[in-house]
Structure 1
Amino acid sequence: MDNTAPYKATLEATLTELQTRLSRIERDLDEPHDPDSSERAVQMEDDDSLEAQARLVSREIASTRQALGRIASGEYGQCVQCGEEISEGRLNARPEAALCITCAQKG
């Protein structure tokens, strides 16, 4: 891919936003629970949701970092599975995409 600069800028901005979001989630998870047992039960349920969100955001961070690594190595825009070019439309929609649409649909 010839011009990766716009994708790199988008990915860097996304990475910053995701890291900020993960920091907020981690801060929320670090808050002490209320000593009241009924309130603590609700907080523990909220923690389960926050932990799931943290896992999802962490995976998104990893995908974004991998895409930035592919830019740095000159492999951005090539499917990591089949080696074919990933369409510009797919990269515009998902700049972190590592698979072409055909490989992504396979699964």
Structure 2
Amino acid sequence: MTSIQQTIDQLQLLRSELSHRIEAIETDVHHREEPVEKDFAEQVTQRENDDVLSAIDEEAQQTVFLIDAALARIEDGSYGRCASCGEKIPAARLAALPYATTCVSCAE
């Protein structure tokens, strides 16, 4: 069984890792403001890479938001309860996805 402090530590570590990833992606995207390649194929490749980086950045930012919400639920005592039905979220689900807001039934 995972203690609340272990969960907090896990969430904070994940948040830190994602924040570093977001920072690296944003640094990479900003360096792309350099002049575009003259080669059309290279321009297409750069555009595709930018699209992938943007999608990864968006997902990381959403996960950070969910982590912050989970930390707030820990603080207010509602962590581990399904936001939809109010039942307890199984420990296995929280171990796999510590920022889960719903039980498996409600998530489906």
Name the TM-score, length of structure 1 as normaliser.
0.89
Task: State the SS of the aligned residue for 2:99.
Answer: coil
Report if aligned partners of 1:33, 1:43 keep a CA contact under 8 Å in 2: no
Q: Report the Cα distance in structure 2 between the residues aligned to 1:83 and 1:59, rounded to whole angstroms.
A: 23
Report if aligned partners of 1:11, 1:95 keep a CA contact under 8 Å in 2: yes
Q: Report the Cα distance in structure 2 between the residues aligned to 1:33 and 1:71, rounded to whole angstroms.
A: 47
Q: CA deviation at 1:27?
A: 0.7
Q: 2:94 aligns with which of 80, 85, 91?
A: 91
Partner of 2:12: 12
Percent of aligned positions with the same letter in both sequences? Answer: 33
User: Given the alignment of the two structures, is residue 43 of structure 1 paired with residue 50 of structure 2, yes or no?
Assistant: no
Q: Report the Cα distance in structure 2 between the residues aligned to 1:18 and 1:33, rounded to whole angstroms.
A: 29
User: Given the alignment of the two structures, is residue 23 of structure 1 paired with residue 26 of structure 2, yes or no?
Assistant: no
Q: CA deviation at 1:44?
A: 1.6
Alpha-carbon RMSD across the aligned residues, in angstroms, is 1.6
User: Given the alignment of the two structures, is residue 78 of structure 1 paired with residue 81 of structure 2, yes or no?
Assistant: yes
Q: Report the Cα distance in structure 1 between the residues aligned to 2:37 and 2:90, rounded to whole angstroms.
A: 54
Q: Report the Cα distance in structure 2 between the residues aligned to 1:4 and 1:104, rounded to whole angstroms.
A: 23
Q: Report the Cα distance in structure 2 between the residues aligned to 1:33 and 1:25, rounded to whole angstroms.
A: 19
State the aligned residue count: 104
Report if aligned partners of 1:25, 1:54 keep a CA contact under 8 Å in 2: yes
Query: Which stretches in structure 2 are left out of the alignment for 5+ residues?
Result: none
Task: State the SS of the aligned residue for 1:15.
Answer: helix
Report if aligned partners of 1:33, 1:40 keep a CA contact under 8 Å in 2: no
Partner of 1:101: 104
